[in-house]
Structure 1
Amino acid sequence: MIDDDDTELKMVGGQRKSGKRSKSLSVQRPVTIQNPASEESRNLRDYVYTLFLSRIRNLKSMGLEFRRRDYRAEEQSHSLPRVPAKSHPLSAPPPFLQVNVLDDRKDDFFDPLRSMNGKMEVSTTGLQHEEINSDETVPNEISAQSQEKEWNSFTKILMQRVPVSKTISISVVSSTVVKGSKANETSSKDLHLEELDDPQKFAEEDVKVISQREYVSRLLELKDEIKLAWYADDRVTSLRLSIKVARLLMDTTTIQFYPTLFVLATDIMDMLGDLVWNRIKQKAEFTEDGRFICSLPDNFKVGDICFDAKETCNNWFCKIGSVRELLPRIYLELSILHCRRFLLDHPMDSLQRLVMMIRGIADPLASAYCRLYLVRCAQRLPQHDTGYLIGCINDLKVQLLRLTSARESTPGNFSGNSKLLVSLIEPTIEYIIICLFKDLNQMEIRNMLVALGMGRNQSDSFQNCSCISIILHHILKELHLGFLCSNAFEMLHLIECTDDFSFDQCLNYKLLGFRLCERIPEVSKVDLVVDKIVQVMSRYNSLDAYLKVADAFLDIIFENQFDPYLNVILDGIFQRAREDEIGENELASLQSIFLKLISHFANIENLLALNHFIDILDVMYGSSRNTINVHILSMATRNGCVRDPTVIEVLFEVSQALSDGVDFLNLRKDDYQHPAHLISRFVYMVDYGPEVEHHLTFLTECRAAFGSMSELQETLVHSSNNLAVKAMRYGNNNISFIKSCLAFNEVTIPSIHTHLRQLNLYLETAEVALLGGFVSHSDMLIDAAVNCLRNVEPVDGFLVPGDVDGIISLISKLCGIMVMVPGNLEQGVASIPKLVMSILDSQSWMFPRMKIKVSCTIISLSSALTQNPLPYHASSREVMGNDHLFFGVPAYSQELLSFSVVILQKIVNTVLEEPSMAVRGKLALEACNCIASSFTMSNEMLAVSSKLVEIAKSCLSADDKYLRRTLKFLHIE
């Protein structure tokens, strides 16, 4: 204690020091400054020592005393005048105040709130410009470059579609690919084309094994050999090697490798076709001696071609026509198909003949891919109709009918692999149908479907007709959306009549449903469609099929408010879920269905009222269950408080399932924050109304259930404090309940990992304790808060910027609470501020900026505690303020003033320790403002302030706003 007769303040750097009672203030010597700012800085330090150390006992005689404050008068003088607003500031302004930004034709930002009646005016200049650009005509035919890009993209996906083992089996037909080529050892004049086709070479049926890499490598070598032979004018060898490559496509020993083989072999075929094309075109444009004849346009006619070029072209077709095997002959003719333009003005006339020839290929896989290459080569012709495409699809339909009817009894290499074979043929169907339905209008689509055997006439296209499921699937994928919507019910009948094992029927229903959902308002006979699809679903015993169809048509049910069907569908899901195993496919479908349900309903009560909603949710597991739980919690808490006890119970179970399903220890922070935040938000939004005891029991259960979630523990403390305040607001004088809330917090807060968060919660709970009049509880909570400050552990000896600001803010909050806490003369009214300063002085991570702010805060606290009346008091009448407890006690003010003088000396030392000139100037100004706000400006205080201002002037610009305002406040020019 400090009184007028004896002064004892045994503090060194804020820590207690043993020793005899002294009549002078014992203060730690300041740290030696290696680079003092100026001579004025040294003079200021010496002046302060002389001022505060030699005359500490006669503070009042020095004129050192706290400034008297009238907080209410200050608030009124600094408050801006308030005038009631006649209209909302964001409402539409009066017409005469409307600013038309668009009239100046500038690109300035236009605020929609300034527009009349909340409507934003939009300049039509840009729209008109876009319309002009959109009027540009686009060619009907896709350019050759675009075609090549589409084909390359398709073949790349095709190679990745079917996984192939590292080793593959090949027949003797393909054995030549692994043998070294000796093409250059024999003169081409000794080779005759008839010798290329020796049936004896392929009579054996032995199978060899080769690595995939070796096979591909040999094909690339063959490609290079063909090119080298061509440029060496040995075109017979190029043709012979090309025939050898085409023969490889006869080998379907390893059917999974066939798509890759097709891509590699047809790439070589395309190269040969380009070589032949360029050869013939060169003959058409130049003579043998190099004389220029003409330059062929892109749309040249046969009449523009000279005789030699036609003869060369015809010779190539004759050479290829002499190949004995059907499949190599077809591939080679297709590779040079576009060269028929040199012979015919309508080369597409030969397409139907090639379609008929492919029917002679018995192998279904080889014939399917041959048709694919036919379509690819036909797309390179300048004009072509769709007749050959229809023929290709109908031929594939016949082959698939044989496969699906034979089921697992398919002969040859496909015995027992019919489903695999169909999946390998599927890419050929997909590409052909894409070409078939490209750019067709609705009438052309109807005629096309009739031509494909899916209808008898235009008026009754889809009744009692059938198709192969896999073909129908890709037709549904490519049909124009408007046509699908206007014929939705008929398409359902078509799918129903098409049932074979080539493709799961439910996937066609699923595809149709998702496509119809793109334009739900345009779906015709929607009531019949929904009723029909519910009937179809009822026939599925498989949960997976049932869920896929239900998921596809759920949006249509929602859009048309067919809610009675929802309970029927959920009943069906529950019945099948009890009997069927829940796999990954089922989980994915259930997740999609639940997400749509959650998005459709506005509140959680309607969602939980659905049949078997919780029962179906319980059968889910893994990430799908976690995802649904997250969305349920998000939905339940987005509309305000949760008050229904049943809903609270369900959400508590959902939160438990989410907490148990997420491994918080192995998740990244971002992944952890989202579910933890949702659970915390749910707990915080729970409201039992006046049943506060029941609510506290709920919080206790949450603490036990979610003990590993630190964020939730903070929420529990906030909720408990709210409960205590609510009990006080309701006029409930149940002191034991409020103490239970405080005890709940005292047990919960230590489980939180971060000391700064603990500090904040201790202070919040201390405020609640003061509000209830529990002074002893508040004292213990404040002591615990100060202890948290002692345990702050920086990372690598440094605090992150957020923690720095957090510490300063929390210390300011602590000082704000201390204004209301009754002091104790036995312990010292400044005991808590002294302890705070002692802790902070002992920390290595305290740097000058923090020290200045904390010191100024504590000085402001000391000044506030000496005011009569205090700036504010605790609401409870049980808590008496210091202005009543210590009114007229000299020792009370003397202790606060003496302690403040010590802190003031620390401020001066800290300012001089700061190495940065700019920061030092700011700190000096902050110290000046603190002195001027807290102390009466005697000559001594004015001298100290002036010295600090001189430091600030030497460090800052004369135009610095902070400096100029401080000078104005101090009345210093």
Structure 2
Amino acid sequence: MMELKDQRLRSRKSVFRMEFRRRDYSAEEQGHVLRRSRTDHHPLLPPSPSFHNQVVPEKNGNNDFFDPLRGLNAEDSTSAEEKAANTTTTTNNSQVSSKEWTSFKRFLMQKFPVSKMISIASMPDVIIKSSTSFRKSSESSHLEEVDDPQRISQEDVKVITGQEYVSRLHELKDEINRAWHAEDRVTALKLTIKVAKLLMDKSVLQFYPTLFVLATDVLDMLGDMVWKRIQQKAEFSEDGTFLCSLPENFKASDICSDAKETCNNWFCKVGSIRELLPRIYLELAIFPCWRFLIDQPLDSLQRLVMMARGVVDPLASAYCRLYMAHCARKLPLSDIGHLVTCVNDTKILVMRHISANEDGHFADKKRLLVSLMEPTIEYIMKCIFENTSQSQRQVDSVLLELGLGRNQEDLCGSSPCISFVLHHLLKELPTEVIWSNFVGILHLIECSQDHYFDQCLNYRLLGFRLSESRSKLDIVYSVVDKVIQVFWCKSQALGKTPSKVEELFLKSLALKKASSRTSGLYFISRKFCRESCFSLRLGFIGSHGMFFCAVVEEVAQYDRLDQYLTVVDAYMDIVLQNQMDNHLKAILEGISKRACHKEIHEDELESLKSILMKLLSHFTDLHDVLGLDHFLEILDVMYGNPRSNINMHILSMATRTGYLHDLSTIQLLFEISQSLHDVIDFGSMKDDEYQQPLRLISRFVEMVDYGTEMERHLTFLVECRGAFGIINELKETLVHSSNCLAIKALKDGRKHLNFVKSCIAFSEVTIPSVLEHVVQFNLYIETAEVALLGGLVSHSDGLVVSAISCLECFDLTDGSRTSIDAGGMLSSIQKLCSLLVMFPGNPDQGITRFPNSILSLIYSKSWMTPRMKIRLFCGIILLLATLSQDKLPYYPHCVEIMGNDLLFFGDPSYTHEIAALSECVLQDLISFIEQEPPKAARGTMALEACNCIASSFVVCFLVCQDILEVCWKLIETARLCLSAYDRYLQSTIKYLNEQLPPSSSNLIFAQHYDLSKC
């Protein structure tokens, strides 16, 4: 193709008379330098004091603009908002409680989903109606029904799908609604009673929360309808006459006798229900109606609390008290005594139920029962503390009513606290209360002896709550000391040998407490109680006050890694924020002791990931993290996704602080990068989740710096190419790093020339493996420039040939590549043209060999747009005009390489070859502009070509009339395609007028395109 192009160039006849403009680049540079003026004030220094003393006078007069940031206006708007908020406080509280209840019911349905089949011994008639239940044999029922193995009779066991049960309850709700609006309120009440009776059935424990949600929806609907009916009677007479509008905070004295009689009648109907549980539910449903009869219905609420004690089943009783808490929130009551009583009563029932020594199936059933009851305690605790978080007195009162005090003896109480009750109590207690009672809370956790709730969750929650706020350092030390003692003592009770760090830590703790004996250590006693637990009680006075330390140890599997990690994770923030190095060391050794030489499970991996993430986020210097004992041991036992996340965090931390110089750190990060590389699925390299680790590995390689050991650095790059050769983005980084090494070596002179050749060779071998041709082209050009700076002309020449060949191989034959970066491609080829200015010509191969190769590329590639071709033609014209100068604008750094201005000085064949090629390019440039169909694009391209020609050739009527006519034609094309007021057109005409010498012939052109006429 090159030969064909050369023949075509030789076959063309000369049609232009042209002369290249002479350029004085030094003078032009000086002419474009900004003028400097002396200043007395440095622009980066702070303003003078006089500037701050300037006062802007306030404008008097009316200002229609309302500034919300003005102090007075802001106060006015705030006070107005407060007034509006005060008027709707009750309504908003009701809406909030309603939203919370709706969210809570949704949570119940999601936590305990409906099973596919429900087996019920005595199917209620209200459910059997219109359902497709069927009988099943007692033998098959016994095999499938594991929730009720003690049932006596199985002859009439029936099975119904969960979806049918739910659908039937929705149908009942619709029937009750229709009956009510049909004035058949007796039927509506009877159906509602039947729905309430369903809550007596606990044959399928897992289904009970769903049954509760559906049944209470019906009860709430009936309660709302009864409320609206009584309210209507209070506001309207029997004949429809409007009496009054009840205020939001009305009193019983505002209610007429007719409304009170209707209200009392409803309570009498509910009171006639024989079964206890439905009677309580129905009265709770209409309980807000007590406001029509009495101003303070607290006594009635307490009566219902006492009635609920008659429900002996723990599950039914717990959910009954849950509904009681919900209904009580509808009243403007501030007393929470009934809620505290509900919690205490639930505790008694649960303790009585789980205290029996049963195992096997019954133990599993108890665990299920505890999990089903837990949401009820959670909701009631939220109700207790929703308005007491700011009052210390109220919190203390609640703790006392719950059987807990503010000292160690009272906190222990007469009986151990239920674990899940304590868990949700810790969730709601204010942080200040937890900090001031942490010893007692620890004692409570350890006294909780039920095995149906994981105690480590309470230790974990305590740590998270304590980390919500900061406290005095000695208090913090006391808290973490107690937790570490707990785990050490439990491990010792199990016959486990403590680690060396744990022993040293506990010995130092004992010595510290012994040394403070005179300042307040008042007893150390140890005794065993029962077969499975013992207590260790320690007390001392710190520098800021007295702190009692009490740890009651219970034999539990706290030596297990999962439980240990669960608790330690919660206290990591406290340990790190308070720089408790000894504690951190003990924790890490405890993890290493339990994690090494064993298989790590998924949940343990997540806990390890959380702990290590907190470590990495706390420290700013990676060396501080790597210097921690056992950190690398713990990291080695991790695998999978958590390990990859930790590796990415380490790489990110290492590369964001600067270059990496330490050899051991580089080796460790290299191994981490290999571990991260090995888990990447290269079949889905384009997925976003894999892009970040690839970028981090490339960034690590880029930030490595061996200093003066440049050969070791190049060896490292070779190792990276072998280890991460599949990562395409990394190959580009490797070439950049190799070229930077070569430049670094060249700065020391030519004594490292062999090393520079090694770097160039490394790049030459690496570049062909890059997949994208455009990236390959850029890397070839970059490496060729480096080789030229080192005086390696033959290497540079070969690299430029490879670069052009790379673009010749590039084609859009692959259907997946439908677009290219035209701007980036154009910029890269223009950069090549700039580089060719420094290349010494070779007469044997042709002085214009590389420009001819670029022209062949332009003619042969269909993916080049017309704009790209025209700009590349302009770039070649500018290159040839530069090569024609007596002195080039820049030269290679190596003084041994001579430029073309010296090699071909005074050689007419050199000038003739450049002029011939320029003439050919100029013809093609004009031809391509005329073929461009869009008018606006054609006009802009014509102006670009005109500026290029005017800056490259002499524009003169007498010397280069052909060039003047070309510019005239291009301006005419632009004028026809663009507006006469186009700024680009005007500036181009102005530039041409400036280039014309003051002769009469040229003035004709200047006058024809005078700016005033445009």
Structure 2-normalised TM-score?
0.83
Greater alpha carbon shift after TM alignment, 398-407 vs 252-261: 398-407
Q: For 1:309 and 1:135, how far apart are their aligned partners in 2?
A: 35
Q: Deviations over 1:434-479 (max 9, x none)?
A: 1111211111101111110122x68976467842111111111111
Equivalent residue for 1:114?
Answer: none
| C-alpha contact 1:485 1:524 (8 A) present in aligned 2 | no
Q: 1:907 to 1:383 in 2, by over 3 A?
A: same
- Note closer, same or farther for the CA distance 1:126–1:555 as it changes in structure 2 (3 Å cut): farther
Q: Which has the higher contact order (CA 8 A, sep 6+)?
A: 1
SS in structure 2 opposite 1:593? helix
Report deviation, 1:284. 4.0
Which residue of structure 2 lines up, in the alignment, with residue 933 of structure 1? 951
Post-superposition Cα deviations, 1:825-849, rounded to whole Å, max 9, x if no partner, equal 1111101110111111111122221
**What is the match of residue 792 of structure 2?**
774
Q: State the AA in 2 paired with 1:870.
A: L
2:34 paired with 1:80: yes
Query: Equivalents in 2 of 1:340, 1:632: separation in Å?
Result: 64
CA positional deviation for 1:771? 1.2
Instruction: Verify: 1:822 aligned to 2:772, yes or no.
Output: no
Change (3 A) 1:845 1:803: same
How far has the Cα of 1:163 moved from its partner? 2.5
Aligned residue in 2 for 1:831: 849
| Aligned equivalent of 1:428 | 376
Aligned length: 892
Map of 1:752 onto structure 2: 770
- Tell whether 2:964 aligns with 1:942: yes
Which residue of 1 is the match for residue 110 of structure 2?
Answer: 160
- Matched to 1:397, the amino acid is K
Match of 1:69 in 2: 23
Residue aligned with 1:210, SS: strand
Quick one: distance in 1 between partners of 2:253 and 2:863? Answer: 93
Q: CA deviation at 1:734?
A: 3.4
Is the contact between residue 468 and residue 502 of structure 1 (CA under 8 Å) also seen in structure 2?
A: no
Q: Residue in 2 aligned with 1:888? A: 906
Q: Which residue of 1 aligns with 2:989?
A: 967
Range with bigger deviation, 913-922 or 253-262: 913-922
Using the TM superposition, give the Cα deviation of residue 490 of structure 1 relative to its aligned residue in structure 2, in angstroms: 4.0
The 10-residue stretch of structure 1 (208-217 or 90-99) with the greater mean CA deviation from structure 2: 90-99
1:361-402: per-residue Cα shift (whole Å, max 9, x none)? 222111111111111112222335212111100011112213
8 Å CA contact 2:408, 2:440 repeated in 1: no
Retained in 2: the 8 A contact 1:365–1:424? yes
Structure 2 counterpart of 1:238:
188
> What's the counterpart of residue 26 of structure 1?
11
* Aligned mates of 2:58, 2:157 — CA distance in 1: 82
Counterpart of 2:427 (choices 448, 471, 477) is 477
| More displaced stretch, 859-868 vs 659-668 | 659-668
Q: Of the candidates 698, 709, 716, which is equivalent to residue 691 of structure 1?
A: 709
Deviation at 1:718, TM superposition (A): 0.5
In the alignment, structure 1 residue 675 sits paired with structure 2 residue 693: yes
Assess if the C-alpha contact under 8 Å between 1:808 and 1:850 holds in 2: yes
Check 1:743–1:667 CA distance in 2 against 1; reply closer, same or farther (3 A cut).
closer
Amino acid in the other structure paired with 2:623? E
- 1:955 paired residue number: 977
| Cα offsets for 1:399-425 (capped at 9, x unmatched) | 2213432365599xx663111111111
Say which is worse superposed, 126-135 or 717-726, in terms of deviation: 126-135
The 8 Å contact of residues 172 and 205 in structure 1, kept in 2 or not, is answered as no
Q: Shift in Å at residue 344 of structure 1?
A: 2.9
1:497-536 Cα distance to aligned partner (Å, 9 max, x none): 3343242222122222222222225787122112222323
Q: 1:416–1:931: structure 2 CA closer, same or farther, 3 Å change rule? A: closer
Partner of 1:92: 46
Cα distance in 2 for partners of 1:612, 1:584 equals 21
Q: Deviations over 1:244-289 (max 9, x none)?
A: 1111111112111111110111111122222333333444445555
CA distance in 2, matches of 1:104, 1:502: 73
Tell me if the contact between 1:816 and 1:861 (Cα under 8 Å) persists in the aligned partners: yes
Give the partner amino acid of 1:642: L
Equivalent in the alignment of 1:417: 365
- Determine if the alignment matches structure 1 residue 876 to structure 2 residue 894: yes
The answer to whether the 8 A contact 1:558-1:600 is kept is yes
Judge which range, 511-520 or 308-317, deviates more: 308-317
Which whole-Å CA distance do the structure 2 matches of 1:266 and 1:777 have between them?
A: 85
Pairwise mapping of residues 652-731 of structure 1 onto structure 2 (< 5 A)? 652-731=670-749
Rounded to whole Å, the distance in 2 between the matches of 1:129 and 1:623 is 55
Q: What secondary structure sits across from 1:417 in the alignment? A: helix
Answer whether contact 1:537 1:549 (CA < 8 A) is retained. Answer: no
1:196 maps to none
Superposition pairs for residues 493-892 of structure 1, below 5 Å?
493-521=443-471, 525-538=475-488, 539=490, 540-731=558-749, 733-794=751-812, 803-892=821-910
- Over 3 Å counting, the alpha-carbon distance change for 1:269 and 1:124 in structure 2 is same
Separation of aligned partners in 2, 1:178 and 1:267: 20
Amino acid at match of 1:531: D
- Please say which of residues 486-495 and 855-864 is displaced more in the overlay: 486-495
- How far residue 861 of structure 1 moved from its aligned partner, in angstroms, is 0.9
**Cα distance, 1:806 vs structure 2:** 1.2
* In structure 2, distance between residues paired with 1:102 and 1:687: 59
Give the conservation status (yes or no) of the 8 Å contact 1:724–1:738: yes
Counterpart for residue 399 of structure 1: 349
Percent identity over paired residues: 53
The answer to whether the 8 Å contact 2:742/2:759 transfers is: yes
- Higher mean displacement: 494-503 or 769-778: 494-503
Output the amino acid matched with 2:33: S
Change beyond 3 A, Cα 1:85–1:673: farther
Amino acid at match of 1:950: E
Indicate if the aligned counterparts of 2:938 and 2:977 stay in contact, CA closer than 8 A: yes
- Aligned to 2:160, the other structure's residue is in SS state strand
Give how far 1:204 is off: 8.2
Question: Displacement, 1:867?
Answer: 1.8
TM-aligned CA distance change 1:125 to 1:781, over 3 Å: farther
1:518 alignment partner, SS class: coil
Closer/same/farther in 2, CA of residues 331 and 713 from structure 1, 3 Å limit? same
Q: Which residue of 1 aligns with 2:95?
A: 145
For residues 227 and 120 of structure 2, what CA distance do their matches in structure 1 show?
Answer: 33
2:217 maps to 267
- Which string of whole-angstrom CA distances, capped at 9 and with x for unpartnered residues, describes residues 304-344 of structure 1? 44444434333333332222222112112222222233333
Aligned partners of 1:669, 1:100: CA distance in 2, in Å? 58
Does structure 2 conserve the Cα–Cα contact (< 8 Å) formed by 1:10 and 1:16?
yes
Structure 1 spans left out of the alignment, 5+ residues: 1-8, 19-23, 28-52, 57-61, 111-121, 182-201
Deviations 1:210-254 (A, max 9, x none): 111111111112122222333333333222222211111111121
Amino acid at match of 1:26: S
Shift of 1:808: 1.2
Please provide the CA RMSD for this pair.
3.0
1:389 paired with 2:339, answer yes
